[in-house]
Structure 1
Amino acid sequence: MKFFRLTKMQVNVNLKNAFYRLSKKYHPDVASSTECSNNKFVEIFNAYEILKDKQKKRSEYDQIIKTKRQNAQQLYSLSKSKRNCLKQRQQQSSTQINSSSSPINLRIFSILTTKENNPFFDNLMKEDGWKKMKIFGIGFICFLLIYFVFVRFWYLKK
């Protein structure tokens, strides 16, 4: 229906007119025969075939759309429940942090709660670890260069 720019109510009345209008615009014989116009015409034709057939194909199409909407709603409700769970954990961790007095306990506890609350913690740690390894590697290479260039030459001159 999005190809034809029709609402669900207009489909039965204006479908044929919209199909003829778009087929004249994108038909390979009329339009410049590019791959894009050919693909667009095939998509329009397939959409017309589905919407034209009021029994079998149309019911299959409506069922697919219905299941997609249901899946999206389930995914949204699932993500909403996860957000609520994370909010509860954050509130619990903030109350526990406020009750503890030692700064070391605060730091350790915040690290542990960060891992629980962040599902992408492992990937972040891997990326952060690589950054640290790069910095360490660059520092080590600089140390070796300084050692071999200056210290060796300085000792060799004596």
Structure 2
Amino acid sequence: MTLPVPIEFRLPEGWLPADPESGGAMGVAFAAVHPRPHAGFTANITIDGEYRPDATSLGHLADESVERLREVAESVVVTDRREVGSPDTPALIQRLAFSTGDGDARRDLVQSQVYLSMLDIADSRKRAVVRLALTASPAQHDTVLGDFQDFVRTVRPGTGTEI
């Protein structure tokens, strides 16, 4: 998958780019993994996005994301959601807790998502929404959250030569 608009970003120190498809992250334009797994799970950062020509709110898009996750996971709960940013650069953050797995092997996970509304630099009539997500075990989430926040602060529209 490619993003609808090019972006630039800098990975946190130690995080490693990963092949999204080999990690089972279909529909993702970029993925990175933490160098130290915890409790058998490797924390990861993913990036995906889409053009949204309509005026759908970021809250509605976040609701859609929760429903898609419910198709593949159990006990999906939105534990926090806030609109941030400004009218010119709106954003939304949400945190989800969920369980996933097969048979008796269940894994509890936490996912922090950031939705960024961006205008295409080449055509400001085109609006894209980029979603950044951090997924980790509950015990590791708060440890890697600072890295994710640092990563989010580096994301900006690109010139077309980046992801």
TM tier, smaller:
under 0.3
Greater helix percent: which structure? 1
Q: Does 1 or 2 have the higher relative contact order (CA < 8 Å, sep 6+)?
A: 2
TM-score under structure 1 length normalisation: 0.22
Highest CA radius of gyration, 1 or 2?
1
Greater strand percent: which structure? 2
